Chains A and B, each alone.
Chain A
């Protein structure tokens, strides 16, 4: 069974950094892109970036460039989202999702359970 399992909820202070993990199970992790998506009540679902675990090719939403870093550890089938210089506005739920891209199908078919991040001043 395909699963993406994310690390647990975090509470941080403004200015701190944070690294969220997303571990894949039940499929060849290196063969599928992983997206990172942020969800806030005010802005809904926002695409942050994507990584291909096979070769670590990474692309960022310009809106988040410089504020986040996405990486992968192939030895543990894990992707990571690092958030730097946290602000209260980074309070959100962060999701990883597998991207299936084949022929007419481009879809986020499996999602992690989400990691709730709370940033206080």
Chain B
């Protein structure tokens, strides 16, 4: 099975900061990676797919990069509504998918 490891597990930041979250796959997954945002009591929301493609309606301050085993999600200028938990997810081994353990983004 492909394991997905995110870092850090949690991060504190301020409004306006630039934040980067990393996701590492245990084997090559090409660009079959998506990022999701989840707020308390809500379902995950798709932000980015194919490693770097922004889902329709998602603000451009979110961006993704990487291929192979190493990926990043960057939020260029944090807004109050961005404080949430973020998950990466691989889709290389369709139909089986796996998620990272999550990164909690908190207000400093």
Which residues of A are interface residues toward B (Cβ below 8 A)?
33, 35, 37, 44-47, 50, 59, 61, 95, 97, 101, 104-109, 111-114
Contacts and interface: CB of A to CB of B under 8 A. Distances in A.
Contacts of A61: 96
B46 A101 contact: no
Contact of A44 (B32, B46, B101): B101
B99 interface: yes
Contacts of A50: 95
Nearest to B44: A111
Contact of B34 (A33, A47, A107, A112): A107
Contacts, number: 60
Contact of B95 (A59, A104, A113): A59
A35 B97 contact: yes
Interface string B69-82: 00000000000000
A113 B45 CA distance: 11
Contacts of B95: 33, 50, 59
Given A45-B44, A104-B50, A114-B43, A109 B99 contact: no
